[in-house]
Amino acid sequence: MQDLRINEQRLWDTLMEMGEIGGTEKGGCNRLAGTDLDKQSRDIFVAWCKACGCEISIDKIGNIFARRPGLNNDLPAVGTGSHLDTQPTGGKFDGVFGVLSGVEVLRTLHENNIETPTPMEFSVWTNEEGSRFQPAMQGSGTYVGRFDLETELNKTDVNGIRLGDELARIGYLGDMELGSRNMGAFFEAHIEQGPILEDEKKAIGIVRLGQGIRWYNIEVVGRPSHSGTTPMHLRKDAMLAAAAIVTEMKAIADRHENGLGTVGFMQVWPNSRNTIPGNVKFSADLRNPRPDVLLTMHEELLAFAEKIAEEHGLDVNIDPFWYFAPVEFNASDDVKAATEKLGYSHMDIYAGAGHDACYMADLVPTGMIFTPCLNGISHNEAEYSSPEECAAGANVLLHTMLEASERIAKQHQA
Ligand code: GLV
Ligand code: MN
Ligand code: MN
């Protein structure tokens, strides 16, 4: 078992095959949650898992679980998984690497006829990206009970299409109860999506923490009027107020160590060049690894919005609809032990992005494995992680899962 390794070429070929579904001209992927392309990627995952003898279950928010039996199927499974949905200009690796590392672990166990002490479970989580439907990590968050199922199924995209309808349409609105898998540990492999491992020349990141995230929907309600006839001092220009808030997002981030602030989505109404904007809707994303600092950033944003509303004589409505508290991964030492056993260079790191593992940590001991990605670029079609880098991460996943399976079986014997 010590010498067992995944097949690097097969993992790479599988990543490239998946990358063709929604593949973009620039070599990335556009595979939004709940689309036909999402269906295609799910179908191929299910086919690959079935070919290795897995039983497939789909829960009420469309998460997929493929279970490979173990020696004792009453024992809780060791789980792994990530997401197959991407950003509109996403890459081939974000999320996909974690899911397909799982498939590669599964294939490695299958072809070597390895009987693990516990079952092993391979999952795909619905809408991790939070691009088409909000928030991010919607499938895992609903699975662990952080979000209400009906509320999430009723969420709509910018065209008013419901998530629940899309899941039903693509055949992935299942009936398995949320939170009902018998799982004893969960591990997610993921590209780092940042530059640190590459810079430090480390093969593996042992992820200790997922940083906190706060998401907002902001609406500025001004007054549409003629751009040629309304004097500047008599306007209620929603765009000017929105622009001030966008600029303040950077100022808030800059005032706090490790602070991050982003506005990535905006709708302007009526969106006509000679009408002063009457209404601007936009997103805001604040992040920090420390909950107290993130709270201060949040308070600063609210206070600034109030000030701007007063100054411009218009309304600023803020809906702080998602708070994701920083999470500590309590099974990181399992990842570290496997990494050291395999002889890969490594360092401790924290996750800047949200991940399904962050929510799974609510339910079971959880760990994450990071691998480097070229120039730290992610959420970009140029995202790249080499075959060797991917193989290292998948090997660590394999051995972390094997160790955890042994441990769970021993704990249940004792
Ligand atoms: C989700 O992956 C996020 O970090 O926004
Ligand atoms: Mn991801
Ligand atoms: Mn992502």
What confidence category does residue 325 fall into, taking pLDDT thresholds of 50, 70 and 90?
A: very high
Q: What is the mean pLDDT of residues 205-228?
A: 98
What confidence category does residue 175 fall into, taking pLDDT thresholds of 50, 70 and 90?
A: very high
To the question of whether residue 219 is assigned a binding role by annotation, the answer is no
What separation in Å is there between the alpha carbon of 96 and the centre of ligand 1? Answer: 14
136 lines ligand 1 (CB under 6 A): yes
- CA nearest ligand 1 atom 1, residue: 354
pLDDT at position 49: 98
3-state class of 99 per DSSP? Answer: helix
CA distance 214 to 318: 12
Q: Burial, 113: exposed, middle or buried (Cβ in 10 Å; 0-12, 13-18, 19+)?
A: exposed
How does DSSP classify residue 233? G
To the question of whether residue 94 is assigned a binding role by annotation, the answer is yes
Q: Are 99 and 29 in contact (CB under 8 A)?
A: no
The DSSP element (H or E) to which 397 belongs, if any, is: helix 387-413
Q: What is the mean pLDDT of residues 2-18?
A: 97
pLDDT at position 414: 78
Shortest-distance atom of ligand 1 to CA 355 = 2
Assess whether pLDDT exceeds 90 at residue 369: yes
Domains identified in the chain and CATH numbers: 8-211+326-413 (3.40.630.10), 213-324 (3.30.70.360)
pLDDT at position 226: 98
To the question of whether residue 129 is assigned a binding role by annotation, the answer is yes
Q: Is the dihedral of CA 6, 7, 9, 12 positive or negative?
A: negative
Shortest-distance atom of ligand 1 to CA 136 = 1
Q: Which of 129, 131, 265, 286 to mutate to test the pocket of ligand 1 (most atoms within 8 A of CB)?
A: 129
CA distance 218 to 366: 34
Spatial CA neighbour of 327 closest among 298, 353, 304: 353
Assess whether pLDDT exceeds 90 at residue 270: yes
Q: Burial, 272: exposed, middle or buried (Cβ in 10 Å; 0-12, 13-18, 19+)?
A: exposed
Written as one string, the DSSP assignment of 4-27 is ----HHHHHHHHHHHHTTTB-TTS
- CA nearest ligand 1 atom 4, residue: 353
Strands (E), 54-182: 55-58, 64-68, 77-82, 120-124
3-state class of 116 per DSSP? Answer: coil
Q: What is the mean pLDDT of residues 97-120?
A: 98
The DSSP element (H or E) to which 387 belongs, if any, is: helix 387-413
358 lines ligand 1 (CB under 6 A): no
Assess whether pLDDT exceeds 90 at residue 1: no
How does DSSP classify residue 374? G
pTM comes to 0.95
Chain mean pLDDT for the chain: 98
Shortest-distance atom of ligand 1 to CA 352 = 4
To the question of whether residue 379 is assigned a binding role by annotation, the answer is yes
Q: What is the mean pLDDT of residues 323-348?
A: 97
Spatial CA neighbour of 71 closest among 121, 105, 118, 113: 118
354 lines ligand 1 (CB under 6 A): yes
To the question of whether residue 104 is assigned a binding role by annotation, the answer is no
Encode pLDDT of 58-79 as tens digits. 999 999 999 999 999 999 999 9
Q: Are 373 and 193 in contact (CB under 8 A)?
A: yes
Q: Which of 213, 294, 368 to mutate to test the pocket of ligand 1 (most atoms within 8 A of CB)?
A: 213
130 lines ligand 1 (CB under 6 A): yes
How does DSSP classify residue 177? P
Assess whether pLDDT exceeds 90 at residue 251: yes
β-sheet bridge partners, residue 122: 66, 80
Q: What is the mean pLDDT of residues 316-336?
A: 97
Q: How many CB atoms lie within 10 A of CB 249?
A: 24
Written as one string, the DSSP assignment of 60-81 is TT--EEEEE--S-TTSPEEEEE
Shortest-distance atom of ligand 1 to CA 285 = 5
pLDDT at position 313: 97
90 lines ligand 1 (CB under 6 A): no
